[in-house]
Amino acid sequence: MLLSKLIKDMGALEMRGPDVEIGNLAYHSARVKPGELFYCVPGQRTDGHLYGEDAVEHGAAALVVEHFLPLEVTQVRVKDARHFMALTAAKFFGYPAKKLKLIGVTGTNGKTTTTYLIRSIAEAAGIPCGLMGTVGYLIGSEKKEAILTTPESVDLHRMLREMVDKGMEWVVMEVAAHALLMGRVDGLIFDVAVFTNLTQDHLDFFGTMERYRDAKKILFEKARCRTAVLNADDDCAQDLVAKDAYPVYHYGICRQQDVYATDIDVKDMGIAFQMHLPGSEAVAMDLALAGVFSIYNSLAAATACYALGIDTAAIKQGLKTVKSVSGRFEVLPLEKEYKVILDYAHTPDGLYNILKTLKDGAKGRVITLFGCGGDRDRGKRPLMGEVAGKYSDFCVLTSDNPRTEEPLEIIAAIEKGLKKTPCPYTVIEDRREAIAYALHIARKDDVVLLAGKGHETYQNIKGVRHAFDEKKIVYELLAP
């Protein structure tokens, strides 16, 4: 596509240099190929303008900039390079989103499971549905590794194009607060936007819970959202929506909403309840997913699909089909007298939800192994320690993704909260050794919870990713 055609009516301020043919789009200078358009995107940690020269050396045909650079290459000056990247990416790939039903799910916890449930319901209704989220990107039976929960806009529209070409009709995606604030989904209109909950996380980036909430609120702006689905049991839900701008559906447990649950039975490793949908009789649900939080995820998915016209039978079948999601309350199939469960819980609320479920149903002890990520919200560390101590019988404090921080300093912050409880614990910095210890002390009927890593297959230590797949490690440690 000619550069002049790509930027026409996109809000560019000025173009300097000859018109050029653009073969593809790029935002990472080291990955630029000859003939590509490179976006110099300012970021929190670095500025893409610093890499303009590198992009040109790699063959960039033109640059998008917020201020002209002293380089002999065609440049397009814009007010906001990140926003411009999203709009032009959509145009370059032929506006694939217009050919799809888009469902966006935002919230602190529950996004991943809710997206998988929505996809399962869609497929039960005979609708091919792509998925983008933390665990991976799914196009039919094909799975791609997820680098970001919500891809950068160039990758996002490239993938939407691929989904259209491969016959997808719906796409459900996790829409992270960071992605909303950083413009990755600018220009998209979501047929349904779902809100799961808001609890403490990412305050290293947002600073306050109000700013964190306001970032999620972007998804529900009138220009981005056609229908909203809200967790009515979350206090901030009503602060998110644009009043009277579009249909709003509510779901919940605490009081009757458009979609709600009654007769709840939280079992050892499953849930049963009566699901009430508008205009139909109660539907008896018996799911393999565990915990009250799974009821909320199920209601969120059911409400979103109901809003899109899916019938009750498909909703029920889709929810029943999902047995587990990778790293989300995932019970490892071990021939042991105790259980080992992997979960991505990395916030105080996420840890509370799973530990409360385990504690209520445990016949033996709950042994919790966890840490906290480095270079992230430090305020949640003692809170997670206190939650773990309150609902565990024994804790193993260890390293998570320490990144550039010292693991023992992170652990010391967690200990401040854990020491407020009577729960005994030990500190083993090396996570593999910590897992070995937790398995060694486990007895009949105990539950060993490995929290924080979930689906991840690496540890980030001093900025370097090291292979670390907890599933494989557990199997290796228990091998005869």
Q: Is 133 annotated as a binding residue?
A: no
376 is in an annotated binding site: yes
Let me know how long the chain is.
480
233 is in an annotated binding site: no
Burial 353-389 (b: 16+ CB within 10 A, else e): bbbbbbeeebeebbbbbbbbbbebbeebbbbbbbbbb
DSSP class of residue 42 equals B
Angle of helix 111-124 relative to helix 292-307, nearest 10 degrees, comes to 50
365 is known to lie in a ligand binding site: no
Residue 452 marked as a ligand binder: yes
* DSSP letters spanning 383-436: HHHHHHHHH-SEEEE--S--BTS-HHHHHHHHHHHHTTS---EEE-SSHHHHHH
400 is in an annotated binding site: yes
Residue 401 assigned ligand-binding role: yes
In degrees, rounded to 5, the angle at the alpha carbon of residue 136 between the alpha carbons of residues 452 and 345 is 15
Question: Which residues on adjacent β-strands are paired with residue 366?
Answer: 447
34: DSSP letter: T
Is 378 annotated to bind a ligand? Reply is: no
In what helix (H) or strand (E) does residue 75 lie, and over which residues does it extend? strand 74-77
User: Is 460 annotated in some ligand binding site?
Assistant: no
239 annotated as ligand-binding: no
Helix (H/G/I), strand (E/B), else coil: 351: helix
Annotated binding-site residue? 353: no
**Local structure of residue 44 (DSSP, 8 states):** S
CA-CA-CA-CA dihedral for 117, 121, 126, 131, to nearest 10 = -30
Answer yes or no: is 111 a known binding residue.
Answer: yes
**313 Cβ partners below 8 Å, 6+ apart?**
none
Binding residues for meso-2,6-diaminopimelate: 376, 400-403, 452, 456
Binding residues for ATP: 107-113
Binding residues: 29, 107-113, 149-150, 184, 376, 400-403, 452, 456
